[in-house]
């Protein structure tokens, strides 16, 4: 065997070793690529599922918040309608003819029956002439009282406020369910 033959064999052996190493490296790289591709796919699927859950929760939160805001807006609108109903009721009373106002004041004057002795009745000068003078009743004109009257015992310990604003305010709480039923039914 000559030097050229030896050199040729060494080159062939080196080429085979080089090819074997390249082949093993490609196989290892391919296995690693597959392994990492699976890990990346698994991580992607996991993050995608997490993102979808977050989006679903976020959507539910948005719907819940919208429902709360809608309920609040509806409640506010209903409150405004109720206030308007009572405001219009007050306006209707104030615009009644004097004969009807007189009847209403006489009805409210009966509240003094629960007070023994002399009483003071405060009334706006505009409505003073609608009250009839009675025994043990001192009628006092007081500006800016609006329609109605305030009855007080002579010692000031008992006071009955029968001004339209007070009467309507007192009736609001008791009449709200009934008025609500009339306006909105079962809603």
Which tens digit of pLDDT belongs to each residue from 133-186? 888 888 889 999 899 999 998 888 889 899 999 888 888 888 888 878 887 775
Whole-number pLDDT of residue 3: 73
* Sequence-ordered list of residues with C-beta below 8 angstroms from that of 145, at least 6 positions apart, any chain: 122, 123, 124, 163
Whole-number pLDDT of residue 185: 77
Contact criterion met (CB below 8 Å) for 164 and 90: yes
Whole-number pLDDT of residue 186: 58
Length of the chain: 187
Whole-number pLDDT of residue 149: 93
Could you tell me the two tokens for 48? 């995608």
Which tens digit of pLDDT belongs to each residue from 35-89? 887 887 888 888 888 888 888 888 888 888 888 888 888 888 888 888 888 888 8
Q: Is the pTM of this model over 0.75?
A: no
Contact criterion met (CB below 8 Å) for 124 and 97: no
DSSP annotation string for 131-158: SPP-TTEEEEE-TT--SEEEEEETTSS-
Number of Cβ within 10 Å of residue 169's Cβ equals 13
């Amino acid at each position: 065997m000559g030097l050229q033959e030896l050199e040729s064999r060494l080159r062939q052996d080196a080429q085979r070793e080089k090819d074997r190493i390249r082949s093993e490296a490609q196989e290892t790289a391919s296995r690693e690529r597959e392994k990492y591709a699976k890990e990346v796919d698994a991580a992607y699927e996991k993050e995608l599922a997490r993102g979808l859950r977050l989006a679903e929760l976020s959507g539910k939160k948005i719907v819940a918040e919208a429902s709360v805001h809608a309920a609040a807006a509806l409640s506010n609108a209903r409150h405004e309608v109720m206030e308007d109903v009572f405001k219009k009721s007050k306006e209707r009373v104030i615009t009644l003819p004097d004969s009807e106002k007189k009847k209403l004041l006489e009805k409210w004057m009966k509240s003094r029956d629960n007070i023994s002795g002399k009483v003071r009745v405060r009334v706006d000068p505009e409505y003073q002439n609608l009250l009839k003078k009675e025994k043990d009743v001192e009628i006092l004109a007081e500006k800016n009282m609006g329609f109605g009257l305030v009855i007080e015992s002579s010692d000031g310990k008992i006071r009955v406020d029968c001004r339209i604003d007070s009467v309507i305010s007192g009736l609001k709480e008791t009449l709200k369910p009934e008025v609500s039923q009339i306006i909105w039914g079962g809603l």
